[in-house]
Structure 1
Amino acid sequence: MTTSVKRKSNPTKINLWLDVAIFAAFLLALDPRLTGIAIHEWLSLAAAVAVLTHLLWHWDWIIAVSRRFLGRTSGAARLNYVVDALFFIDLTVVMLSGLMVSQAILPWLGLTAPAGSFWRILHSLSADWAVILVAVHTALHWKWLVNAFKRYVVRPVGALRRQTEIP
């Protein structure tokens, strides 16, 4: 008889790795000269899907703070909520404007965007704001990020090193 051990998923660990993946994709997509336009566009689209996953992961918090935003909630929760809302709006503008200037995704879909500099300027400005907002978002979550990183990266690596050291 075979028994299998069912592991309980760890929400904090999943959230950490999702956040790390989003941040890495954001950094890589930040400068299309680094990856080329096609990778920039597809990576940005994948990052948008990851951000939506992140939002769904935190949906209960979003609903809870939305309900009590003007009532009983902490100033930190309100600040975080406002920054996150601005970040979501900005990322929506980045993605929409990015699609409107697309040189890889739209042609792949057989579509063309209207010519002109409006969308390119909007894309550039909203991308600049995204850098600022991701920095503020990261700063607001810094303590959680450091603690989660220590717990799920530093400690396991240290334990692994201690196990493989020769006495």
Structure 2
Amino acid sequence: MTWRNGRLYLVLFVTFMLAGASTTTGIPLHEWLGLVIFAPLFFHVIWRWKWVVRVFKPSNRKRPGQTTFAKWFNLALFFTMLPIGGSGLMISGALLPLLS
């Protein structure tokens, strides 16, 4: 892992932890942090797009166990974050009050 990756992962982790602590941050900050976290996540996917294509491309070669685990773990995270973010936007009271 490079220093640039480490910084991005640290920012994502801290933002995610703060966004999850709605009792500490309050609902408005919780909703804004939840929205803000999608920018670095989107940047991360674009930044790692070559890896995504390479790992999900069918291959006859056996991949290392760590790569296979990372592939399925990242896919699970992606499909977990989509409905969380979508439902968060739909029930938002502070961020998008016109939608509620």
Q: State whether TM-score is above 0.5.
A: yes
Counterpart of 2:60? 71
Give the partner amino acid of 1:66: F
Q: Deviations over 1:67-108 (max 9, x none)?
A: 13x53222221111011000011011110011111011111x
The question of 1:38 aligning with 2:28 is answered: yes
Dislocated runs of 4+, deviation >3 Å: none
Counterpart of 2:76? 86
* TM-score normalized by the length of structure 2: 0.90
Q: CA RMSD in A?
A: 1.5
Give the count of matched residue pairs.
99
> Which of 14, 18, 22 in structure 2 is aligned with 1:28?
18
Task: Kindly name which structure, 1 or 2, has the bigger radius of gyration based on alpha carbons.
Answer: 1
Counterpart of 1:15? 5
Identity across aligned pairs (percent)? 32
Deviation for aligned residue 1:31: 2.0
Cα distance in 1 for residues equivalent to 2:90 and 2:60: 40
* TM-score normalized by the length of structure 1: 0.56
Cα distance in 2 for residues equivalent to 1:36 and 1:71: 51
Gaps of 5+ in 1: 1-10, 114-167
The question of 1:112 aligning with 2:99 is answered: yes
